[in-house]
Structure 1
């Protein structure tokens, strides 16, 4: 199991990149992102199949004897069918949501299989899961910070134009359309990372030896942040809102993110 740790890590990295690609295509109808995501997912399928073959040759049996092996095979089935459907039909919503579920099952298998043996190795895996959860959450917060900065620049630029203050600051702030677009793209990149981080956080909570509460202040706050940014994307994509209104919304969302990071973290029973 531990000898194949590098294979697990490579699968997770490629799968994360694939989901992000499908998410970008889901939001923006970006066919280039869709093609890249497809080939990344194909690589994930190839590595998963390699692992199954190694398990079959090493144990002389099909690796589905435990619930953990069953989760892995379930994820492999979902990925296999999503690849086939992706080549035969264009059902992007189905592909995206199917692979979010398959990723959840994949991570659940990888970081909980060893815990059944209660070994030191399982503790290492759980620790790595926590590190991955925190890293992805912080990276997503970085994207949301960039987005908020672009939104604030948009609001300042909008005010200068409204007051007809034509000066050097007007030129250095940038074009309104460009600022609005950059702010939106940053949220598109940050949201799937936060989604993955939250999923990993819940899995870590239920598989670690530490006391975990699903209704902990930081847990609720993290999912609230995710919902707020999903609403932002819904307003942009479905309702077509943009510009000043969405810049104000994005600024408010970032303020809530800061409250979650600094206040809810101190009130939490197990978060730092």
Structure 2
């Protein structure tokens, strides 16, 4: 029986949003973010459980197909992560396990021939690309916001250091707030980029074009991710000062611009952006 994809799309988006909240909790020990992430993950688990229940009911006379086995594997990862989250405080474990579970689930859903896209003229791979692009654009938007706040931080820092008081300075938030807002934007953008890259890699796998993993756009996207992970490392482990963090944030955003503008011209399969 062919299945519509609205349920699968809902699971993917809710799962991705859950990862965002879990990442925020892992980085900043945010209890509210953890509760939101857990609530969304429980909802994902409920939807997956309902699907598995229907599968068992419809397959009493034969074994699971590969797609259903992968779905079961993803469900088990979600179940284990919820148990670990309930009884232990290992936020990094929960986040990483669910990145794997999200990737397995996406690979299973978009390679399943029984899933039909919401729009009749689309292929399932088109929906995969649509979600990939949506998450990537969301991450870029977050990085733009982070860059703006970092630029404000450097401007305000210089004005204060040189004791140049002006009306503009009075309209800007404090150094502490601009640094904190930039940090929060990076926390929002980084997990979105991770999930977008995961879906992009899954698309490459489904297309059977492993050589595209060496595409300049793919490599530069990974470099963007490394840049923002290093920013988080500087803030959380090195405890770098706000000026150093702002400068590195702008460096990382420079790589984002390079990735979005120039590498599209040289990419073998991302040139559609300019069409």
- Answer yes or no: is the 8 Å Cα contact 1:56–1:63 preserved in 2: no
Runs of 4+ deviating beyond 2 Å: 1-4, 58-65, 120-123, 208-212
- Aligned partner of 2:111 in structure 1 is 112
In structure 2, C-alpha distance between the alignment counterparts of 1:232 and 1:170, rounded to whole Å: 26
| 1:24 aligns to 2:53 (yes or no) | no
- Aligned partner of 1:55 in structure 2 is 55
Name the CA shift for 1:89/1:171 in 2 (closer, same or farther; >3 Å).
Answer: same
- Answer yes or no: is the 8 Å Cα contact 1:144–1:187 preserved in 2: yes
CA-atom RMSD, angstroms? 2.2
- Aligned partner of 2:145 in structure 1 is 146
Name the CA shift for 1:150/1:262 in 2 (closer, same or farther; >3 Å).
Answer: same
TM-score (norm 1): 0.93
In structure 2, C-alpha distance between the alignment counterparts of 1:63 and 1:23, rounded to whole Å: 37
In structure 2, C-alpha distance between the alignment counterparts of 1:148 and 1:63, rounded to whole Å: 52
- Aligned partner of 1:246 in structure 2 is 245
- Answer yes or no: is the 8 Å Cα contact 1:206–1:212 preserved in 2: no
Instruction: Report the alpha carbon displacement of residue 25 of structure 1 after superposing the two structures with TM.
Output: 0.4
Cα deviations by residue, 1:63-120 (Å, 9 ceiling, x for unpaired): 6332x2221111111111111122122222211111111111111111112289xxx9
Cα deviations by residue, 1:170-209 (Å, 9 ceiling, x for unpaired): 1112211000000110000000001111111111112137
TM-score (norm 2): 0.92
Name the CA shift for 1:2/1:242 in 2 (closer, same or farther; >3 Å).
Answer: farther
Correspondence list, 1:173-184, <5 A: 173-184=172-183
Gaps of 5+ in 2: none
| 1:103 aligns to 2:102 (yes or no) | yes
Name the CA shift for 1:193/1:260 in 2 (closer, same or farther; >3 Å).
Answer: same
Name the CA shift for 1:54/1:145 in 2 (closer, same or farther; >3 Å).
Answer: same
**2:238 is paired with a residue of what secondary structure?**
coil
**2:212 is paired with a residue of what secondary structure?**
coil
In structure 1, C-alpha distance between the alignment counterparts of 2:232 and 2:208, rounded to whole Å: 36
- Aligned partner of 2:219 in structure 1 is 220
Cα deviations by residue, 1:210-240 (Å, 9 ceiling, x for unpaired): 7851110001011110111111111111111
- Answer yes or no: is the 8 Å Cα contact 1:147–1:186 preserved in 2: yes
